[in-house]
Amino acid sequence: MTAVVRGGGVGGGGDVERALRDAAPHALFEEVRAILAREHGAAGAELLMADYASARLQPVTERPFTADSVSAYNSAEGRAFGSQEPHVVHGEAGTTVHLPVTVRGDRLGVLSVRFAAGASVGPLLGPLRDVADALAHEILVADRDTDFFLQARRARRLTLAAEMQWQLLPGRSCSRPEYDLGAQLEPAYAIFGDSFDWSASADHLTLTVNNGMGEGIEAALLTNLAVSALRNARRAGLGLADQAALADQALYGQYRGRLHLAMLLLRFDLDSGEAEVIDAGSPRIWRLRGSTVEPVGLEAQLPLGMFEDTVYTSQRFRVLPGERLFFLSDGVYDVLSPAGEAYGRHALARAVLSTRLLPPSQVPRALLEELPGYRGGVDAVDDAMVVCLDWHGRPGR
């Protein structure tokens, strides 16, 4: 079976994008189904969204929570999600093509397209990927106007604090020629104080890792204020030290030192790999260089909002092509084993080495899954965050 492009139909990638832009936000996937059937002879299609824990793929249905999810790891759909490549499954009933739905490295889910038995899908893989890519872009836009896809991501209800934190995040992964980023928060459906943020320009990557004190909504409000203040300062063109000072003043003005927020604020030069960093508290950096795992030593300064008019100074270090950096909250490295040994001393190094073949988008989830076993079945007392950065450097430099 080959693609059929009818006169006046949706043929090229640009035509698909225009058709999706014209569709109602909640009806995007129905338009995709129609395009796949009409232009490519598909017998059916299904869209699955990655849940907040990045562990399950949730089917998008007209009524959410009415269909069974599948594993994001141990399933045919999960194989496409993990590898970020099309995965073709042949069966007696027909052929199914599972395609990653991803935008700029942020893995949203999987598009599964079914064809009749005996169909030749090889020539269709390129056009099908174009449809999946166009759908990914339009889902991000549609999220501004509908809850349809956000609801589909939920394996269960979010707490209010978690709702606030997830709405604050830039995504869970990001890719550019110079770097790949991946991040995850746990417990995904009840996170409250930990958060991350990133923003890229032509020449720099700014990365923020936050660990707010407190629990529940109070911790989420603290983090929201800090991230908003940092974004406001960054978008005004201020340097790192002034960004930290403005956020510090905002938090102190609101809480008068009663609550504060630990933070790592980094700015990477994409040409040289030089990183300017302000270490304001407990989040820590670990580096994987070759087979060596080691912490990056920095001089810690006061958390944001602890005292009035704190002056922050930046430090510098260099990241080399091929290196991997980990940014961790205290909910990771302070986890104790039943014997009282902190996770960050030895177990973290083993986990970092054991995941070095995984892409950064999958590493945070893999590291966080180690923690319950390390605790010996004891419930977590703090939320946890892992951000993973693979540095490639600017091509040709």
375 falls in which pLDDT band (50, 70, 90)? Answer: confident
Distance of alpha carbon 123 from alpha carbon 138, whole angstroms: 25
Q: Which amino acid appears at position 141 of this protein?
A: V
Q: Is 242 exposed, middle or buried (0-12, 13-18, 19+ CB in 10 A)?
A: middle
Dihedral sign (CA 267, 183, 388, 219) = positive
Of 22-36, 59-73, 125-139, give the lowest mean pLDDT range.
59-73
Distance of alpha carbon 192 from alpha carbon 172, whole angstroms: 17
47 falls in which pLDDT band (50, 70, 90)? Answer: very high
pLDDT at 21: 93
Q: Is 170 exposed, middle or buried (0-12, 13-18, 19+ CB in 10 A)?
A: middle
- What are the Cα distances from residue 234, in Å, to 181, 255, 301? 20, 22, 20
Overall pTM surpassing 0.75 (yes/no): yes
Q: Which amino acid appears at position 338 of this protein?
A: P
pLDDT at 143: 95
Q: Which of 79, 73, 72, 67 is nearest to 56 (CA)?
A: 72
Phi, psi of 279 (to 5 degrees): -100, 105
pLDDT at 345: 74
Contact by Cβ (8 Å): 214, 192: yes
Average pLDDT, the chain: 92
Distance of alpha carbon 133 from alpha carbon 191, whole angstroms: 30
pLDDT at 283: 84
Residues shown for the chain: 397
Contact by Cβ (8 Å): 393, 189: no
Strands 384-391 and 324-328: antiparallel
User: To 5 degrees, how large is the angle CA 266–CA 169–CA 171?
Assistant: 95
Who's near 100: CB < 8 A, 6+ residues apart?
80, 81, 83, 84, 85, 86, 107, 110, 111, 132
Mean pLDDT of 372-395: 87
Quick one: DSSP state of residue 66? -
Can you give the C-alpha Rg of the chain in angstroms?
Answer: 22
Does pLDDT of 53 surpass 80? yes
Does pLDDT of 5 surpass 70? no
Distance of alpha carbon 269 from alpha carbon 205, whole angstroms: 7
Q: Which helix (H) or strand (E) holds 68?
A: none
Of 236-245, 261-270, 291-300, 339-348, give the lowest mean pLDDT range.
339-348
Distance of alpha carbon 224 from alpha carbon 142, whole angstroms: 23
pLDDT at 382: 82
pLDDT at 239: 96
Secondary structure (3-state) at 258: coil
Tokens 């397209």 identify what position? 113
pLDDT at 1: 35
Tens-digit pLDDT profile for residues 311-329 = 999 999 999 999 999 999 9
2 falls in which pLDDT band (50, 70, 90)? Answer: very low
Distance of alpha carbon 149 from alpha carbon 291, whole angstroms: 40
Does pLDDT of 301 surpass 60? yes
Tens-digit pLDDT profile for residues 225-234 = 999 999 999 9
Distance of alpha carbon 151 from alpha carbon 244, whole angstroms: 35
141 falls in which pLDDT band (50, 70, 90)? Answer: very high
pLDDT at 12: 58
**High-pLDDT (> 70) share of the chain, %:** 96
Distance of alpha carbon 377 from alpha carbon 277, whole angstroms: 36
10 falls in which pLDDT band (50, 70, 90)? Answer: very low
Tens-digit pLDDT profile for residues 143-193 = 999 999 999 999 999 999 999 999 999 999 999 999 999 999 999 999 999
pLDDT at 62: 73
279 alpha-carbon distance from chain centroid: 23
pLDDT at 396: 77
Mean pLDDT of 256-284: 95
